[in-house]
């Protein structure tokens, strides 16, 4: 794609550089190659501009950087200054990769706890109902059966757009993304179009990064403020924070909970897990715990928002399994149950 075409509408590119062919976009100088556009992202610990010269030495033909970066800097390639590098990076990645998120049905899941389990179950739900699904989480990134190591809970902005483009290229229809508060604050999901956003809960965590609980919630809320009126927001009725999210989104709200007012009846614990009735369907899951029941209900509501029928979801759930290390049962010859669990916080241990 030509540089002028790629930046059109957002960045004024001098005419003599508009015909430069861009074959790759990178914000890591070590990944730059011939024909790259290097985006110098200002970070908390370092500044991407410090690595621009290395990117150019590896073949980058242009650099996008914050305002004022070009002054006193001679890289031998055009430096295009912008006010908000992270915002522009999302827009450019979306355009460069052909707007992949608009070609997929995408569910984003955020919350303090339960994110990984929720996206894991959603992936099983979508895959079992005939859809090649992209899966992005703490555990791994995966397209169908092909797995890739996960660097963070949520991939970086360029990596995420690139990942979604690969899902599209391989004929995928859906993607599920675990979205952390760090990712939202750092706008790693910039210019990604979500069809559904799920909120699990809010509890004190990451306060070394977020100033206080209000800032933490405001970071989570960014996933919901970006939804349009055709999207769906899946919110837990019992969480006080849900009210703020509901009043700050244009999306249709789907409330979930464990009570009769939420359509859940005949709830009981059985040897194999939990069983209940929802939408006139008997749902049986092979795992225990109130928190996992809440995660499962979030999954069912999200699936419903994405057009799946309660009966087909119930059939999938009966065979679904939790992620590794989440109440994972260990087979042994004794008469008692042994489980391995990831719980490492007060709230998780209490659950």
Domain 3-96 = CATH 3.80.10.10:
no
Q: What is the mean pLDDT of residues 148-158?
A: 85
Longest Cα–Cα distance in the chain? 77
Q: Which of 187, 230, 233 is nearest to 94 (CA)?
A: 187
Q: What is the mean pLDDT of residues 4-22?
A: 97
CB atoms within 10 A of CB 71: 8
pLDDT range class, residue 351, cuts 50, 70, 90: very low
Token pair 């989440």 in the structure block, residue: 326
Rounded CA gap, 47 and 178, in Å? 27
Beta 196-199 vs 232-236: how paired, if at all? parallel
Residue range 225-248, pLDDT digits in tens? 999 999 999 999 999 999 999 999
Answer whether residue 343 shows pLDDT above 60: no
Q: What Å distances lie between residue 113 and 10, 241, 286, CA to CA?
A: 37, 14, 20
Answer whether residue 251 shows pLDDT above 50: yes
Q: Where are the domains of the chain?
A: 3-96, 100-317
Note whether 93 and 182 are within 8 A (CB).
no
Q: What is the mean pLDDT of residues 298-315?
A: 97
User: On the CB side of 245, how many CA atoms lie within 13 Å of its CA?
Assistant: 33
Rounded CA gap, 40 and 63, in Å? 7
Buried b (16+ CB within 10 A) or exposed e, 296-312: bbbbbbbbbbbebebee
Residue range 53-107, pLDDT digits in tens? 999 999 999 999 999 998 888 999 999 999 999 999 999 999 999 999 999 999 9
Token pair 């707007």 in the structure block, residue: 99
Share of the chain above pLDDT 70, in %: 91
Q: Which CATH superfamily is domain 100-317 in?
A: Mur-like, catalytic domain (3.40.1190.10)
């Amino acid at each position: 794609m030509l540089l002028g075409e790629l930046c059109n509408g957002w960045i004024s590119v001098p005419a003599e550089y508009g015909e430069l062919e861009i074959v790759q976009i990178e914000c890591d100088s070590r990944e730059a190659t011939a024909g790259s556009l290097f985006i110098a992202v200002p970070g908390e610990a370092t500044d991407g501009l410090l690595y621009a010269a290395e990117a150019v030495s590896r073949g980058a033909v242009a650099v996008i950087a914050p305002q004022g970066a070009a002054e006193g800097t001679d890289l031998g390639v055009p430096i295009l200054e912008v006010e908000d590098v992270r915002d522009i990076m999302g827009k450019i990645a979306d355009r460069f990769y052909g707007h992949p998120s608009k070609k997929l049905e995408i569910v984003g899941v955020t919350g303090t706890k339960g994110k990984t389990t929720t996206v894991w179950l959603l992936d099983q739900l979508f895959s079992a109902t005939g859809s090649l699904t992209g899966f992005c989480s703490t555990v791994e990134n995966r397209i169908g059966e092909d797995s890739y190591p996960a660097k963070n809970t949520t991939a970086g902005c360029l990596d995420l757009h690139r990942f979604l483009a690969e899902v599209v290229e391989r004929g995928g229809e859906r993607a599920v993304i675990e979205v952390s508060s760090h990712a939202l604050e750092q706008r790693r999901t910039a210019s990604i179009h979500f069809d559904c956003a799920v909120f699990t809960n809010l509890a004190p965590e990451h306060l070394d990064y977020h100033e206080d609980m209000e800032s933490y919630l405001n970071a989570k809320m960014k996933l919901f403020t970006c939804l349009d009126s055709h999207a769906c927001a899946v919110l837990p009725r019992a969480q006080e924070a849900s009210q703020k999210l509901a009043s700050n989104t244009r999306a249709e709200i789907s409330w979930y909970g464990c009570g009769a007012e939420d359509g859940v009846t005949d709830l009981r614990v059985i040897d194999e897990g939990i069983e209940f009735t929802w939408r006139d369907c008997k749902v049986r899951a092979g795992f225990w715990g109130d928190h996992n029941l809440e995660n499962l209900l979030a999954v069912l509501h999200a699936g419903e928002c994405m057009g799946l029928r309660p009966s087909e979801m119930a059939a999938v759930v009966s065979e679904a399994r939790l992620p590794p290390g989440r109440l994972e049962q260990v087979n042994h010859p004794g008469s008692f149950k042994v489980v391995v669990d990831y719980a490492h916080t007060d709230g998780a241990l209490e659950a």
